[in-house]
Amino acid sequence: MRCGTVWTDARLLTMAGGDVGRVEDGVVAATDGRIVYAGARRDAPDLSPRDTITCDGRWITPGLIDCHTHLIHGGDRSQEFELRLNGASYEEIARAGGGIVSTMTATRQATEAELVAGALPRLDALIAEGVTTVEVKSGYGLSLEVEGRMLQAAGRLGRDRPIRIRRTFLGAHATPPEFVHDPDAYIALVADEMLPRLAGEGLVDAVDAFCEGVGFSLSQVRRVFDAAAALGLPVKLHAEQLSNLHGAELAASYGALSADHLEHLDAAGIAALARSGTVATLLPGAFYFVREQQRPPVDALRAAGVPMAIATDCNPGTSPLTSLLLTMNMAATLFRLTVDECLLGVTRHAARALGLAAETGALEVGKSCDLAIWAIERPAELVYRMGFNPLHARIWRGQ
């Protein structure tokens, strides 16, 4: 075989097979941005590479994947943060017209270029830690025009930086003020007009909703999911974050890619996720930032064999977090995930949560050559440290 580039003298976490796929003396080979070999040096075929890069014993993981973000938005909510420090709750602030709606106002006032300029530093912070795929949700425009602007801005991020962006339509994030007396009419607009139009413009990879007392009910979410199904789009759901509305069961019944948050998930919800193969995406940054008391049922999810992803949930209200490394530390410290679970949660399982399991998230033949090369001695260091970045190099699509 004559391949393009080989990375040698590396230790690998391939994320292939059932676990993290540890290889001590490994090589990765790629041609035209695709992995043609990843594994032990002694098992490698004759690769005859054009370029050879020695890793001097460093560790290679798949490029990291942040599978749940609200990276694009106008303004920030540092003022609301101060209010909360003085005793106001997230729900009180939301009911008083703050919260998501205040970010909506700032987002509506921003041009596409301003939204891009605001998001790029956050994206760059993720990229600096070896992230090669990011999901970006809409959901702060809450009108056809501004939801479209957010999704266009998300596309722009993927052209301005070497990174794979997946766009999720989250029109059902909150009821905008002009529909406050008729949320069902807003849901009808989301399902019958906004989604088909935006999907028709090729701006939507998946459809999400916020199923919560301060968000939307099961029947409202169903309305949005039916519209997604009619367009052949996969769904995911913010479920069981602040209360248990049985959103995870609903999501599972639509074969959702993921159900996200899940602090208040019960046994029936876990069983439903296990049956449908839906990924449980845990968001410890939001749990930490709103000082949630109830932890997601990690032991039961593990016992049921539900794949767990973890993500930043980067958003201005409940998780102003732009470090996937710190997110792993939080998942371990706050939720008691193991090191291996954290690493799988930002690679293989995160890819699956985006419907990208065949494309990225593991070092396997045929997948995109997305790599993070780390100056560490042991994989646990990626989870253990707080506020330290040991990234040595980042490769996206072989570059």
Q: Give the footprint of ligand DI6 on this chain (CB under 6 A).
A: 99-100, 103, 173, 210, 238, 241, 286, 313, 315-318
Residue with smaller CB distance to Fe ion, 140 or 396: 140
Residue 168 contacts which entry, Fe ion, ligand DI6, none (Cβ below 5-8 A, type-dependent): none
Two structure tokens written together for 207: 């459809």
Stretch that binds Fe ion, among 128-136, 171-179, 289-297, 311-319 (CB under 5 A): 311-319
Residue 84 contacts which entry, ligand DI6, Fe ion, none (Cβ below 5-8 A, type-dependent): none
CB of 70 to Fe ion, least distance (A): 6
DSSP string covering 164-194: EEEEEEEEETS--GGGTT-HHHHHHHIIIII
Residue with smaller CB distance to Fe ion, 240 or 313: 313
Two structure tokens written together for 61: 């993981």
CB of 315 to Fe ion, least distance (A): 6
By CB under 5 A, is residue 341 in contact with Fe ion? no
Residue 99 contacts which entry, ligand DI6, Fe ion, none (Cβ below 5-8 A, type-dependent): ligand DI6
Residue with smaller CB distance to Fe ion, 81 or 388: 81
Q: How far apart are CA 199 and CA 189, in angstroms?
A: 14
Two structure tokens written together for 79: 């003022």
Residue with smaller CB distance to ligand DI6, 5 or 103: 103
Paired sense of beta strands 51-54 and 308-310, if any: unpaired
Residue recorded with tokens 């090191």: 339
Two structure tokens written together for 282: 């845990």
Residue with smaller CB distance to ligand DI6, 99 or 345: 99
Near Fe ion by CB under 5 A: residue from 313, 341, 364, 370 = 313
Two structure tokens written together for 22: 């540890």
Paired sense of beta strands 131-137 and 64-66, if any: parallel
DSSP assignment letter at 386: S
C-beta nearest to ligand DI6: residue: 317
* Under 8 Å between Cβ of 204 and 233: yes
Residue 317 contacts which entry, Fe ion, ligand DI6, none (Cβ below 5-8 A, type-dependent): ligand DI6
Q: How far apart are CA 272 and CA 144, in angstroms?
A: 33
CB of 238 to Fe ion, least distance (A): 5
Residue with smaller CB distance to ligand DI6, 70 or 156: 70
- Residue 129: which of 285, 325, 309, 315 has the closest Cα? 325
CB of 264 to ligand DI6, least distance (A): 13
3-class DSSP assignment, residue 355: coil
The torsion region of residue 359 among left (phi > 0), alpha (psi -120 to 50) and beta comes to alpha
Residue with smaller CB distance to Fe ion, 76 or 340: 76
Binding region for Fe ion (CB under 5 A) = 313
